[in-house]
Amino acid sequence: MMELTRQGSVFVLMMNSDDNRFNVESMRAIHAALDEVEAAAVPSALVVTGVGKFFSNGLDLAMVESGEVDLVGLARAAQELMARTLLFRRPTVAAINGHCFAAGAMWTLAFDHRIMRADRGFWSLPEVDLGIPFTRGMTDLIMARLTPQTATVAMTTGNRYGGEAARAAGIVDNAVPEDTLVSHAAELAEALSAKSAETLSTIKGMMYQGVADSLRSG
């Protein structure tokens, strides 16, 4: 389901479970990967990507509907993952290989940088169409990482952004061909990998501690 490899100073976490929805098992595996990266000596950085059509389709609502997990508990766990990623002590890059919706899209906003496939896949916050309001923490994260106008359109219309549209809206840093997506993200991560973990942690805390606290408050 998750495969963590290292290429020089860059760790690459490959998510390869269908549409990579967030459930107890998948988030546990992601946290384990984050633990390994965080324990590594500098230089080190993290790239996260998926396989096939999906980067992440958000919360595993099928498990909620089956009664296996509670929606509130699952959302809290996802917000903890967002908070941890936002304050992560290493440089982070999301290599968005395909569809990226709802909590999956919100998670990408917690990364330092986002690179998206140009020719296929959409980034979207469809909660308005699903009838699921954003929590305060989710709202704070989105508003902190997007311009007010882009956040308004994304949150209130559920607009689907392709790679180039996402780049134009400032959602992602760049949109590139599929065959160069991970290498482009890894190149960016490698260029940042020697940054002091202590200094980076302090800077991120000054920038986003309030957002992380909001996410963790429930």
- Map out the domains of the chain as residue ranges: 2-210
Note the pLDDT of residue 144. Answer: 98
Per-residue pLDDT at 218 exceeds 80:
no
Note the pLDDT of residue 64. Answer: 83
30-59 pLDDT, tens digit per residue, is 999 999 999 999 999 999 999 989 999 999
For the chain, the straight-line distance linking the first and the last C-alpha, in angstroms and rounded, comes to 27
Instruction: Specify the pTM.
Output: 0.97
State how far the Cα of 166 lies from the Cα of 36, in Å rounded to an integer: 31
162-188 pLDDT, tens digit per residue, is 999 999 999 999 999 999 999 999 999
3-state SS string for 141-185: HHHHHCCHHHHHHHHHHCCEECHHHHHHCCCCCEEECHHHHHHHH
CATH class of domain segment(s) 2-210: alpha beta
Confidence of residue 1 (pLDDT cuts 50, 70, 90): confident
State how far the Cα of 70 lies from the Cα of 211, in Å rounded to an integer: 24
41's tokens = 């000596």
Give me the percent of the chain exceeding a pLDDT of 90. 92
Tell me the pLDDT of the chain averaged across its residues: 96
57-91 pLDDT, tens digit per residue, is 999 988 888 877 888 999 999 999 999 999 999 99
Rounded to an integer, the average pLDDT of 186-205 is 98
Rounded to an integer, the average pLDDT of 111-122 is 97
Note the pLDDT of residue 170. Answer: 98
**Gyration radius of the chain's alpha carbons:** 16
State how far the Cα of 66 lies from the Cα of 32, in Å rounded to an integer: 26
Give me the percent of the chain exceeding a pLDDT of 70. 100
71's tokens = 């929606």
Note the pLDDT of residue 62. Answer: 86
Per-residue pLDDT at 12 exceeds 80:
yes
